[in-house]
């Protein structure tokens, strides 16, 4: 009889570490702002401090984690679906579609991302969501479905370029919207409230359950399409479901926080560098990693030059791009060393 203790898998350790990091960052995010730590220290006695913490910092902090979790989830699904480690959540043109939707809303309705009225915010959020979903639908039409992964990939690139050009043309024809578009293009969690948090959390839960149930398809695709078919997996229907999860997760995050680069691309890479696992665990860990990355970047952006703040999209682009460049350099060095 074997009485040796069971070892805890690296995936469990990583999940526990990400959960602890999330809790610590949530606490840090609620403590960082233009008024410093005083609001947290005095919120039991000062109604204004309580309002700052409860109505501004907490929903923004939780919203940053949830948006990052949605992007991490979408990134893991995209990389598994396209069997490409460079795939990101914006690959189907959702980012360009959301940008065009916001630009058109600004032109025709004259609203600004800096407005706080809930009807205005709902209008811009709705425009971004409709634009993102519409671009994905256009990609599916051009690709004639999801049967051919390469055609879907190329259609997404084409749609992204065309809609991006249309966004630029819209801003050139209406230069007054350029400054208003800046907040959306650079990414910001400053407009996230409790309603947005609830929406993103609901979409994340639905997307996570769906992706978990479809993870065996991604495992089969990682072995090759012929192998997946031989396993009896209904690829056509399951690809449609995976694209739906990818589109809905990305569109929801982009609609609430704008364009935030590299989170969905870098999160699965960071997980795979530590844990070798099936897509079921990979998707969950990548989602948690995305939440940690975006929340850390948002907290850092609020703290570095406080009381002012850096756009979170700029920080994620710099940090994520730097990480990927380092990863490419390390792989090249290892490959060169292996050939000696």
Question: From the CB of residue 6, how many other CB atoms can be counted at a distance below 10 Å?
Answer: 5
Write the CB contacts of 36 (distance below 8 Å, at least 6 apart in sequence): 306
Question: From the CB of residue 291, how many other CB atoms can be counted at a distance below 10 Å?
Answer: 29
How many CA atoms does the CB half-sphere of 76 hold within 13 Å?
33
How many CA atoms does the CB half-sphere of 2 hold within 13 Å?
3
The two three-digit tokens of residue 60, written as one number:
């923004």
Q: Give domain status of residue 337, yes or no.
A: no
Question: From the CB of residue 163, how many other CB atoms can be counted at a distance below 10 Å?
Answer: 24
The two three-digit tokens of residue 71, written as one number:
């992007």
The rounded distance, in Å, linking the Cα atoms of 259 and 151 is 25
Q: What are the angstrom distances between the C-alpha of 197 and each of 55, 69, 102, 241?
A: 12, 12, 20, 24
What was the pLDDT predicted at 87?
84
Q: Give domain status of residue 5, yes or no.
A: no
pTM of the predicted model, to two decimals? 0.85
Q: Give domain status of residue 249, yes or no.
A: yes
3-state secondary structure the chain: CCCCCCCCCHHHHHHHHHHHHHHHHHHHHHHCCCCCCHHHHHCCCCHHHHHHHHHHHHHHHHHHHHHHHHHHHHHHHHHHHHCCCCCCCCCCCHHHHHHHHHHHHHHHHCCCCCCCCHHHHHHHHHHHHHHHHHHHHHHHHHCCCCCCHHHHHHHHHHHHHHHHHHHHHHHHHCHHHHHHHHHHHHCCCCCCCHHHHHHHHHHHHHHHHHHHHCHHHHHHHHCCHHHHHHCCCCHHHHHHHHHHHHHHHHHHHHHHHCCCCCHHHHHHHHHHHHCCCCHHHHHHHHHHHHHHHHHHHHHHHHHHCCCCCCCHHHHHHHHHHHHHHHHHHHHHHHHHHHCC
Work out the end-to-end distance of the chain between its first and last CA atoms, rounded to an integer number of angstroms. 47
The two three-digit tokens of residue 281, written as one number:
């665990």
The rounded distance, in Å, linking the Cα atoms of 75 and 240 is 16
Q: Give domain status of residue 4, yes or no.
A: no
Domain range for 280 is 10-23+34-328
Question: Among candidates 178, 216, 176, 211, which has minimal Cα distance to 69?
Answer: 211
The two three-digit tokens of residue 306, written as one number:
């406080």
What was the pLDDT predicted at 118?
45
Domain count, the chain: 1
Q: Give domain status of residue 99, yes or no.
A: yes
Q: Give domain status of residue 3, yes or no.
A: no
The two three-digit tokens of residue 295, written as one number:
């929340």
What is the block-wise mean pLDDT of the chain (340 residues), using blocks of 10 residues? Answer: 62 92 90 59 59 81 94 93 85 89 82 48 75 90 80 89 92 83 83 88 94 86 68 74 89 88 89 86 94 93 80 84 75 47
The rounded distance, in Å, linking the Cα atoms of 171 and 174 is 5
Q: Give domain status of residue 93, yes or no.
A: yes
CATH number at residue 189: 1.10.3470.10
Phi, psi (deg, nearest 5) at residue 28: -65, -40
Q: Give domain status of residue 29, yes or no.
A: no
């Amino acid at each position: 009889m074997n009485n040796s203790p069971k070892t805890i898998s690296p995936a469990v350790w990583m999940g526990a570490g990400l959960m602890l990091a999330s809790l610590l960052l949530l606490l840090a995010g609620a403590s960082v702002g233009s008024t410093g730590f005083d609001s947290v220290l005095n919120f039991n006695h000062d109604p204004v401090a309580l309002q700052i913490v409860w109505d501004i910092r907490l929903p923004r902090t939780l919203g940053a984690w949830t948006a990052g979790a949605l992007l991490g989830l979408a990134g893991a699904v995209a990389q598994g679906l396209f069997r490409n480690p460079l795939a990101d959540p914006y690959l189907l043109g959702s980012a360009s579609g959301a940008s065009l939707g916001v630009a058109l809303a600004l032109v025709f309705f004259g609203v600004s991302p800096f407005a706080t009225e809930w009807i205005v915010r709902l209008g811009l959020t709705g425009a971004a969501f409709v634009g993102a979903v519409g671009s994905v639908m256009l990609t599916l039409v051009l690709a004639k479905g999801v049967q051919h992964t390469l055609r879907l990939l190329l259609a997404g690139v084409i749609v992204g370029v065309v809609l991006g050009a249309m966004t630029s043309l819209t801003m050139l024809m209406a230069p007054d919207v350029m400054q208003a578009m800046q907040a959306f293009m650079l990414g910001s969690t400053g407009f996230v409230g409790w309603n947005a948090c609830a929406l993103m959390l609901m979409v994340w839960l639905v997307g996570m359950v769906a992706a978990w149930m479809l993870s065996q398809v991604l495992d089969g695709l990682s072995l090759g399409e012929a192998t997946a078919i031989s396993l009896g997996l209904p690829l056509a229907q399951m690809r449609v479901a995976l694209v739906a999860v990818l589109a809905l997760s990305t569109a929801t995050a982009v609609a609430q926080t704008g364009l935030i680069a590299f989170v969905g691309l870098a999160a699965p890479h960071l997980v795979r560098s530590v844990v070798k696992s099936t897509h079921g665990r990979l998707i969950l860990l990548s989602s948690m990693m995305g939440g940690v990355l975006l929340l850390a970047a948002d907290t850092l952006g609020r703290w570095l030059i406080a009381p002012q703040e850096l756009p979170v999209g700029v920080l994620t682009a710099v940090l994520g791009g730097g990480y990927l460049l380092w990863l490419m350099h390390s792989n090249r060095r290892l490959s060169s060393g292996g050939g000696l």
